[in-house]
Structures are given as structure tokens and as C-alpha cells.
Amino acid sequence: MEKTVYDNRRWRELPRDGECVVSFLFGEAAGPCRGHMSRHHVNPDDPRSRSFQVCVRHHNRVQAIVRRLLDPPGWKRCPHKWGTHRYRSGLEACERELNRELLEELGVAA
């Protein structure tokens, strides 16, 4: 999350004291929750979008699910170890390079 988008008073004051949505939806199949509760935006590009509570353990899984749902068909994901790209822009640049041919077919500038 970029600090300029999410670090404001309204964001900090959102409640973080409830049940993890992943645990609520999947129960024991998701495994036990761990860590503090954080907020996950439904649409990360719009800081005013809805958000939901998720524990630290399940947050990365939610990120992966959302990316998989929103990626175009045939999109190759970054093969690097998690945390290699410090910022989202680095991850996006890596994936644009991997998918240069697909982007050219779609008529999108890489």
C-alpha cells in the first residue's frame, strides 16, 4: 500500500476489531488467523472504495486471489520471491516485461 493513498485520518480510524473475512467465509479450511487485523481495499486504485477486515496471515492470500481474478487471460505473474520488488510499480514493470508479447497482441503499450 502506498502511504500517500492510505495514510490519512479517515483510513486510520476505520475499525480493526472484528473477525477476519477469510476466516468468516471459509472457517477451519482457511486455517487459524494470526497477527493484527488490517483493512483491504476492494479496489486499490480508488482509496474511497469499500474495504474489509483481514488478519495478517490471510492478507497475502486475499491479494493473490484478487490479482488472479483481475489478470487478463494468459497473463504471466512475476516469478521472483515474494518481497523482491519493494514497490507495486516494480512488480508491475516486471510483469509488463514478462507479458510484452501479450500486451502487443492486445494493442497496449508495454
Domain locations along the chain: 1-70, 73-110
Please check the confidence at residue 4 and state whether its pLDDT lies above 60. Answer: no
Q: What is the mean pLDDT of residues 12-40?
A: 84
How far is Cα of residue 72 from the mean position of the Cα atoms in its chain? 16
| ∠ Cα 37 35 69 (to 5°) | 65
Supply the pLDDT for residue 32.
Answer: 92
Q: What is the mean pLDDT of residues 74-96?
A: 86
Taking residue 42's Cβ as centre, other Cβ atoms within 10 Å add up to 10
Q: How many CA atoms lie within 13 A of 82 on its CB side?
A: 4
Identify the band that residue 36 occupies on the pLDDT scale cut at 50, 70 and 90.
confident
Please, what sign has the CA dihedral across residues 108, 68, 90, 49? Answer: positive
Q: What is the mean pLDDT of residues 3-25?
A: 73
Q: What is the mean pLDDT of residues 15-40?
A: 86
